[in-house]
A and B are shown apart, each in its own frame.
Chain A
Amino acid sequence: MTRVTGATDAPRDGREVQRRERETAVDDTVKRILYVQTSGMEAPERSATVFFLATAAAAIDIEVGIYFTQHGPTLLQRGAPEALHIKHGGAPLSHFMDQARDLGVRFYVCQPSLDLNELKLADLIEGVEMIGGAAFNNMALEADRVICF
């Protein structure tokens, strides 16, 4: 099933409820950071920083999104985060991803980026949201900062 941002389907869990609440409660005092992740499975050493920083931002009440483009969507492939270890003997990427999502960090992709990596939304982990180029640029303008990796 294709997930549509802003759709009115029933919330699935607590995190989803929190997201919806945030969407409906427009608050100009909230700070927003949008991260852009361009590296994927081909570069493990470039895969984790975005999650560390996004998580730290969410922990201090900043509203955070990560847009995965170029090779980035490969990190979201089902099974991939569990298999990727940034450091030998360290925790898998899935650990850092879960940490981020647990604090409400949202993950976005767009169709051309999925096509580039021959992926479909159904191939990705749960809860990834589909946006388009216009929506991305709008999010960038509404964010206080955009940070690219």
Chain B
Amino acid sequence: MMDGQVASRLDCRGLLCPIPIIKLAKAVKAMEVGAVVEMLATDPGSVPDIGAFEKQTGHRVLDRSESNGVFRFLVQRTK
């Protein structure tokens, strides 16, 4: 089962809005329901953007963290 496992990784470091959110949207559409994508980004706007992504799409942000200016998000496809 794919559930909860990190199915793919998305390196969006150095990319500016709206590229990270576009890549995330495409990645989530391409994976199975329940699967998780790990996304790395450096644009600080990606933090509120991930929140908007979660709110509007209904997919779940399982974890969000930051280390040395790199944001890491775990996003699960829910439907």
Where chain A touches its partner, the secondary structure class is helix
State the CA gap A55–B18 with chains docked (Å): 7
State the CA gap A31–B25 with chains docked (Å): 16
B15 located at the interface, meaning its Cβ lies under 8 Å from any Cβ of chain A in the complex: no
State the CA gap A62–B25 with chains docked (Å): 12
Q: Which residues on A sit within 8 Å (CB–CB) of B49?
A: 56
Contact-residue size bin, chain B (C-beta under 8 Å from the other chain): 10 to 19
Number of contacting residues on A, CB 8 A? 12
Stretch at the interface among B5-13, B31-39, B51-59, B64-72: B51-59
A60 located at the interface, meaning its Cβ lies under 8 Å from any Cβ of chain B in the complex: yes
User: Once the chains bind, are A59 and B53 in contact (CB under 8 Å)?
Assistant: yes
User: Once the chains bind, are A59 and B17 in contact (CB under 8 Å)?
Assistant: no
Q: Nearest Cβ in chain B — how far from A17, in angstroms?
A: 15
Interface string of A28-43 (1 = CB under 8 A from B): 0001000000000000
Q: Which residues on B sit within 8 Å (CB–CB) of A53?
A: 18
B61 located at the interface, meaning its Cβ lies under 8 Å from any Cβ of chain A in the complex: no
On A, residues with C-beta under 8 Å from B are: 31, 52-53, 55-56, 58-62, 99, 103
